[in-house]
Every structure is written in structure tokens, then in C-alpha cells.
């Protein structure tokens, strides 16, 4: 290939320089504020400020920039941050409350009303998700609590254990212990930790799977890191998630060290849920906002077109697999009759000749309760099939 150095050893500095010369990303370095050696030595904010330090004229160390290899801890500051923050402040000071919805010409900023949606659109390709599967919000730890509040519903007689690594990040450990205690359970009996065969060896997928298999009957949730913070090991996210799901275990991934570091395809990998922070490889600044992912199939899907011109009275609702039988049973128990199309679809048809608006309200209310009960039953390994027609199933032929 042209420009390829043929005569320099691969371990030489020249070889590294020639790779830099060909690197299509090398210009991006210019977009970051990398601290200088002089700045790092500074004892005051004034001395640390780039402008005042270089104004001294005699501090040659200010021109020596650090080889900053700590993106795994705190990414350096992008130059654009100060510009964008100032633009936000200008919008606030000049527009007041109108900043919520007035789009200014030549502004790169979304209106505040659209900021959430814009943030989801921006993060979605980075984690390989659909924008409606992600939220940019809170901190990693708070998001872990949110997701566990939604998906960890332990039953001491059935599934109640959480599995995590022995060397999990300390705050992840605290979250798990807090959640277990919140449900009046004891971490000594409801928390399982996975240790590598020796402290120095990485975890193997086989070892993780063997722990899952050994605890398959009473484990509700698995919490693992995408990339282990201590060893840097990248775990096999799709394979482990799929195995855990086959055992009825919900998997949550801590992607603090994976987001912006390795390619992620959370949707295509069928990941249940994940959380991350943005101050490491995404360079958002200390303590800034985190993110979360919940797989679309854990949300409720409407097959019927949303445009009223493209539908009649019928709504076809596709459920998460394994909920249909319990949902049908619970609807009949609440005196609501709809029909089903196996394996996962409920059809609801409020006909104008004999249904009222109140009937629709009753359905929505009953459906919400039925779904909640069905999700809980599924977590406990009950898909409602045993109850059959007596439980309320109506398999129509049309």
C-alpha cells in the first residue's frame, strides 16, 4: 500500500508515527482540551488556566501535552463544551421561558422541550438501540435502581436471587444489596457472587454459565459489566443474555466502561436492559448525566396503524412472549371480552353500535392490571397455560 513504511520495525516510534499519518480519526484530537504538564503542576485555578499560564511566557511545560490515557476514568474536555454551554446560557438569558419551544435560527441546540428526544436520537446509534429504547437521564447508579425497581420482583418461594460478580464495581454491589433488603430479603441468601477461578484470571463465559445453571430455579436477575472495570475484559453480552433468558433470568448490563469504547448492538443482541455513564469514553464531564436501555419487547406494541385513516374499530396489541394466557384470563375475570391470536396478539374491537366510551375506559383499566399480573406470573415461571379455556381463553377462528 502507498505510504506504508516497509523498512521500519513494527515496534518503532516511526512505525507509530506513520500509522498516525494514515489514521482517518487523527484530526479529532484537535477537538479536545488535553491538560499540559505545566497545568497539572499548578496549585491554583488561576495558574491552571491555560490562558494565564501561557501568558507567563516562561513556563515551557505548558506546551508539553500529556499522553492522556485515562478515557476509562474521565474523558478530557471537548473544546465545544464551553461553546455549547454558553449558547445554552445565551438562550436562557435572551429567551427566558420561550427557550422551551422556540427554535432559534442558526442555533445548533434543540429547544429544551426537544432536548430529551434529541439526546435519545444521539445516543441510540452509539449503543446500537432504537431511540425509543433508550433514555439519557440521571446517573448510572440511579438508573440501576430504576430498572431493578421495574424488573426485579423477587418471590422468596421461587425466584429471588441476584447474581453479580464478586469484583463488581462497589456501587453496583450496594445497589444489589439495597434492592434485596428493600424487598425484606437477605443478601446472604438472595445474592450470589461469581468469582474467577483465581483472582488474576478473567471470568470465562463457561464459568458464568455454570453459575447460572446451578442457580437457575431461584434466580431472578443477573447483573454483569459489559467491560470489567478492573481487568478490562469484554464479556460476551449476547451469548450470556440469551443463556440467562433461556433459564428465565433477566439480565442487566453495566456498560460504564463499554459505551464509546467497543461496538454495541443492544437491540440486535436481544439485551434485556442496560445502564451507563457518559463521563468516561463519551467525554461528557464529571458527574454528568447517565443513560439506560430497555429492550423494546419489554414495552407494549400496537400492530394497528396509528393513523385513524388507516384503521377501523380494531386495535391489535402484540404482547411480550409468554403473557397472552394470563392476560386473557385476567381480562375475563374483570368481565372484559377480547379475542386472541396465538402466540402473542390480543385484538380489541370497540364497535360503535353497542360499545361506549366507558367500555373503552374499562378495557384500558383492566388491561393494565392484567399485564401487571401476567408480567409477575411470567417472572415466577407461570405462563398461565394450565388454566386453559376455563381461565378465560377465547381462541377465535376469524
Ligand X SMILES: Cc1ncc(COP(=O)(O)O)c(C=O)c1O
CB atoms within 10 A of CB 312: 10
Q: Which stretch binds ligand X (CB under 6 A): 95-103, 191-199, 251-259, 338-346?
A: 251-259
Residue 178 touching ligand X (CB under 6 A): no
CA 347, CA 23: separation in Å to the nearest integer? Answer: 55
Give me the least distance between CB of 394 and ligand X, in Å please: 47
Residue 260 touching ligand X (CB under 6 A): no
Q: Which stretch binds ligand X (CB under 6 A): 14-22, 254-262, 314-322, 345-353?
A: 254-262
Alpha-carbon distance values, 205 to 233, 244, 256, 261 (Å): 11, 12, 20, 21
Assigned C-alpha cell, 113 = 422541550
Judged by CB under 6 A, the residue of 225, 260, 384, 392 near ligand X is: 225
Q: Which residue has the cell 423477587?
A: 154
- Shorter beta-carbon distance to ligand X: residue 134 or 256: 256
Residue 172 touching ligand X (CB under 6 A): yes
CA 188, CA 160: separation in Å to the nearest integer? Answer: 12
The size of the chain, in residues, is 398
Give me the least distance between CB of 254 and ligand X, in Å please: 5
Residue 257 touching ligand X (CB under 6 A): yes
Residue 292 touching ligand X (CB under 6 A): no
CA 105, CA 94: separation in Å to the nearest integer? Answer: 14
Judged by CB under 6 A, the residue of 141, 179, 251, 261 near ligand X is: 141
Residue 190 touching ligand X (CB under 6 A): no
- Shorter beta-carbon distance to ligand X: residue 73 or 83: 73
Q: Which stretch binds ligand X (CB under 6 A): 89-97, 188-196, 249-257, 356-364?
A: 249-257
Instruction: Flag whether 279 is marked binding.
Output: yes
From the list 270, 174, 272, 165, the residue with the least C-alpha distance to 227 is: 165
CA 226, CA 113: separation in Å to the nearest integer? Answer: 32
CA 100, CA 91: separation in Å to the nearest integer? Answer: 10
Residue 254 touching ligand X (CB under 6 A): yes
Report helix, strand or coil for 163.
strand
Report helix, strand or coil for 28.
helix
Burial of 139-150, coded b for 16+ CB within 10 Å and e otherwise, reads: bbbebbbbbbee
Residue 165 touching ligand X (CB under 6 A): no
Judged by CB under 6 A, the residue of 36, 39, 120, 139 near ligand X is: 139
- Known binding residues for pyridoxal 5'-phosphate are 140-141, 169-172, 254, 257, 279
**Residues in contact with ligand X by the rule CB under 6 A:** 139-141, 169, 171-172, 225, 229, 254, 256-257, 277, 290
Amino acid at each position: 500500500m502507498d505510504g506504508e513504511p516497509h523498512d521500519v520495525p513494527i515496534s518503532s516510534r516511526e512505525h507509530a508515527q506513520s500509522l498516525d499519518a494514515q489514521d482517518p480519526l487523527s484530526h479529532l484530537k484537535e477537538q479536545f482540551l488535553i491538560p499540559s504538564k505545566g497545568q497539572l503542576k499548578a496549585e491554583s485555578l488561576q495558574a491552571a488556566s491555560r490562558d494565564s499560564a501561557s501568558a507567563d511566557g516562561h513556563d515551557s511545560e505548558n506546551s508539553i501535552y500529556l499522553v492522556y490515557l485515562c478515557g476509562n476514568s474521565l474523558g478530557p474536555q471537548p473544546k465545544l463544551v464551553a461553546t455549547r454551554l454558553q449558547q445554552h446560557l445565551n438562550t436562557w438569558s435572551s429567551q427566558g421561558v420561550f427557550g422551551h419551544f422556540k427554535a432559534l435560527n442558526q442555533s445548533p441546540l434543540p429547544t429544551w422541550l426537544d432536548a430529551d428526544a434529541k439526546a435519545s436520537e444521539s445516543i441510540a446509534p452509539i449503543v446500537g438501540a432504537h431511540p425509543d429504547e433508550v433514555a439519557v437521564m440521571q446517573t448510572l447508579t440511579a438508573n440501576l435502581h430504576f430498572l431493578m425497581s421495574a424488573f426485579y420482583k423477587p418471590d422468596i418461594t421461587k425466584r429471588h436471587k441476584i447474581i453479580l460478580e464478586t469484583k463488581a464495581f462497589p456501587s453496583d454491589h450496594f445497589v444489589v444489596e439495597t434492592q434485596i433488603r428493600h424487598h425484606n430479603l437477605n443478601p446472604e441468601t438472595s445474592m450470589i457472587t461469581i468469582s474467577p477461578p483465581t483472582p488474576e484470571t478473567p471470568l470465562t463465559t463457561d464459568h458464568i454459565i455454570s453459575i447460572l445453571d446451578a442457580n437457575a430455579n431461584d434466580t431472578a436477575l443477573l447483573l454483569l459489566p459489559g467491560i470489567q472495570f478492573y481487568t478490562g475484559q469484554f464479556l460476551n453480552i449476547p451469548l450470556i443474555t440469551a443463556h440467562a433468558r433461556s433459564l428465565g433470568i433477566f439480565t442487566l448490563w453495566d456498560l460504564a466502561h463499554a459505551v464509546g469504547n467497543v461496538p454495541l448492538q443492544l437491540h440486535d443482541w436481544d439485551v434485556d436492559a442496560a445502564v451507563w455513564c457518559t463521563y468516561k469514553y463519551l467525554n461528557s464531564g464529571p458527574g454528568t448525566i447517565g443513560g439506560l436501555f430497555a429492550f423494546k419487547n419489554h414495552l407494549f406494541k400496537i400492530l394497528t396503524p396509528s393513523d385513524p385513516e388507516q384503521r377501523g374499530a380494531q386495535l391489535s396489541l402484540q404482547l411480550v412472549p409468554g403473557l397472552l394466557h394470563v392476560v386473557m384470563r385476567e381480562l375475563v375475570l374483570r368481565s372484559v371480552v377480547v379475542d386472541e391470536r396465538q402466540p402473542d396478539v390480543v385484538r380489541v374491537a370497540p364497535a360503535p353500535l353497542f360499545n361506549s366510551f366507558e367500555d373503552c375506559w374499562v378495557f384500558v383499566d383492566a388491561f393494565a392490571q392484567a399485564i401487571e399480573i401476567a408480567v409477575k406470573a411470567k417472572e415466577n415461571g407461570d405462563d398461565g397455560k394450565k388454566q386453559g379455556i376455563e381461565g378465560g381463553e377465547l381462541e377465535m377462528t376469524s
